[in-house]
Amino acid sequence: MALFSSLSREQKESVVLLQIGTFLEYFDLMLYIHMVVLLNELFFPKTDPHTASLLTAFTFCVTFIFRPIGALIFGWLGDHIGRKTTIIITTIMMSISCLIMANLPTYAQIGISAAWIMTFCRIAQGMSSMGEIYGGQIYLTESVRRPASYPIVAFLVVAAELGGMVALGVAALATSYSLNWRIAFWIGAGIALVGSIARTRLRETPEFLEFKNQQMKEVVAELNREEGAGKPEKELPHIKPLWKQHIPFKTLMSYFCVLCGYPLTFYLIFMYFNPILQGNFGYSSADIIRHNFFLSIFMVILYIFWSVLSSYVHPIKILKVRGLFFLCFMVVMPLLIMNIPNPMTLFFIQLLILVAPLDGAPAEAVFIYHFPIYRRFTYASFLYALARALMYVVISFGLIYLGRYFGTFGLWFITLPVAVASLYGVTHFEGLERKLGTYSNPYNKGGMQRNATAAAIQGSK
């Protein structure tokens, strides 16, 4: 893409390092999720089918439920110490958790302690992945100008999905050919540790350094005003404090609504149909993992398509079209599920969800621009984590009980409100982009030359 040719050597190096790191982080994170049926049997006690389904939902959710705490911790670090340091810390945290899991004795060997240690490792992985994925997105948003930042930041999501796809591939091999699953965790931990060392080559983002420099000027200006009390105001330097920038509550809620879409899409594609494959078509755990692996290949291809398309079309326009398609499809999906004659038909339904997912990609850079830099990491990453944690809990447990009382029509109680809310959030950011003058044609010759700080301040007024 022509937009990439404008990047400096240092920017290209940052893109590569963050892409590789995100891939490895999500390989480690998703490996357990896609092998949950097999690993739960090793690290948790035997239960009846209903309890087993609740246990699966619990182990799935625990990865995300503590993410808001991780967002607050790493958000504070990112906003006060720096983006680079936060990314390195979270990578090391992920590798250590993965190494512990690779060497953890099973339930048969040490009893319930295995379940507790595994749970704590999953919590640590969920928290560290929060700083990793969002730290990388913020780093690139602040390092690359619009509109080149749109596809570049979006490709971090591609790297994350690619990590999930490879994790599924490893899970398929482990379950189909009885390979030692621990080898995958050992490899993941080792590579993640090497990646964290490689990331020391990253430099702090220019925008964050500029902010810190301005913050120091504000402190000096305040001291000068105190020392020069009584002098004419015009003789005293005055810089408006950055911390007085206002973030409208409507913007915060709109971003939260947009973020609620991805957990729903992910769960529908990779989790919701598993009982149907097992109960109706006799699929084994290995068959389901293989089935989901092929889905993940299509998912990566489609996310590459959306990312490339954002080089030519404003990302918000892409989200609007996808959101409308998703809403219409959810209206008829319960009826389609009731009449699935074979696994290929089910696979086709899952592909239709993949074609138009509810997700913020490829517009992450657009959303980040509308948060002022002094609290960008904390606010944006906390909303990201909160949406993931809340929605995965609501979806995982909600669909179990809604399905029990309303059958497939129970999907409407979650999918339709989430789709409408997501479209509302996208429409709000469309209005902000129109006010900035970046919505109509940001890809014309010369592009948009405003820096990210100016865009964030104007967007929040």
**Residue 100: predicted pLDDT:** 86
Residue 378 near residue 71 (C-beta atoms within 8 A)? yes
Tokens encoding 278: 């097992």
In order of 18, 29, 90, 217, 362, the CA distances from 97 in angstroms are: 20, 10, 11, 41, 30
Q: Is the dihedral of CA 65, 197, 369, 211 positive or negative?
A: positive
Instruction: Collect all residues with Cβ–Cβ distance below 8 Å to 461 and sequence separation of at least 6.
Output: 246
By C-alpha distance, which of 258, 30, 21 is closest to 135? 21
Q: Give CA–CA dist 393/401, Å, rounded.
A: 12
In order of 11, 144, 207, 278, 300, the CA distances from 290 in angstroms are: 37, 38, 44, 13, 16
What value does the CA radius of gyration of the chain take, rounded to a whole number of Å? Answer: 23
Q: Give CA–CA dist 32/360, Å, rounded.
A: 24
H/E element holding 251? helix 249-259
Instruction: Collect all residues with Cβ–Cβ distance below 8 Å to 380 and sequence separation of at least 6.
Output: 134, 138, 255, 367, 368, 371
- C-alpha angle with apex 44: 41 to 49, nearest 5 degrees? 65
By C-alpha distance, which of 250, 19, 199 is closest to 92? 199
DSSP 90-114: HHHHHHHHHHHHHT---HHHHTHHH
Q: Give CA–CA dist 238/240, Å, rounded.
A: 7
Domains of the chain: 8-459 (1.20.1250.20)
Phi, psi for residue 354 in degrees, rounded to 5: -65, -35
- The single-letter DSSP state of residue 148 is T
Tokens encoding 370: 């509308």
Q: Is the dihedral of CA 450, 132, 25, 34 positive or negative?
A: negative
Q: Give CA–CA dist 403/408, Å, rounded.
A: 6
Region of residue 22 (left: phi > 0; alpha: psi -120 to 50; beta: else): alpha
Helices (H) and strands (E) in the chain, counts: 20, 0
By C-alpha distance, which of 356, 362, 305, 323 is closest to 146? 362
By C-alpha distance, which of 327, 323, 351 is closest to 412? 327
Q: Give CA–CA dist 264/261, Å, rounded.
A: 5
- The pTM (predicted TM-score) of the whole model is 0.78
Tokens encoding 50: 């209903």
Q: Give CA–CA dist 271/294, Å, rounded.
A: 14
Q: Give CA–CA dist 41/45, Å, rounded.
A: 7
Per-residue confidence in pLDDT tens, the chain, 461 aa: 555 666 777 778 788 878 877 887 777 777 777 666 667 777 777 766 666 666 666 666 666 777 788 878 888 887 778 777 887 788 788 778 878 888 888 888 888 888 888 888 878 877 777 667 777 888 888 888 888 889 999 999 899 889 888 888 877 777 677 667 777 778 767 766 776 676 677 777 767 767 667 666 665 666 666 555 544 444 444 444 544 567 788 999 999 999 999 999 988 998 889 888 988 898 887 788 889 889 989 999 999 999 999 989 999 999 999 999 999 999 999 999 988 999 999 999 999 999 989 999 999 999 998 988 778 888 888 898 889 888 888 888 888 788 888 989 999 999 999 999 999 999 999 999 999 888 865 554 444 444 444 444 343 44
Q: Report helix angle 181-198 to 149-176, nearest 10.
A: 150
- The single-letter DSSP state of residue 341 is -
CA 316 from centroid of its chain's CA atoms: 17
By C-alpha distance, which of 40, 32, 29 is closest to 114? 40
CA 37 from centroid of its chain's CA atoms: 23
By C-alpha distance, which of 388, 128, 408, 381 is closest to 267? 388
Residue 284 near residue 331 (C-beta atoms within 8 A)? no
By C-alpha distance, which of 139, 14, 9 is closest to 82? 139
Residue 163 near residue 24 (C-beta atoms within 8 A)? yes
Residue 60 near residue 271 (C-beta atoms within 8 A)? yes
Residue tagged 């200006």 (tokens): 221
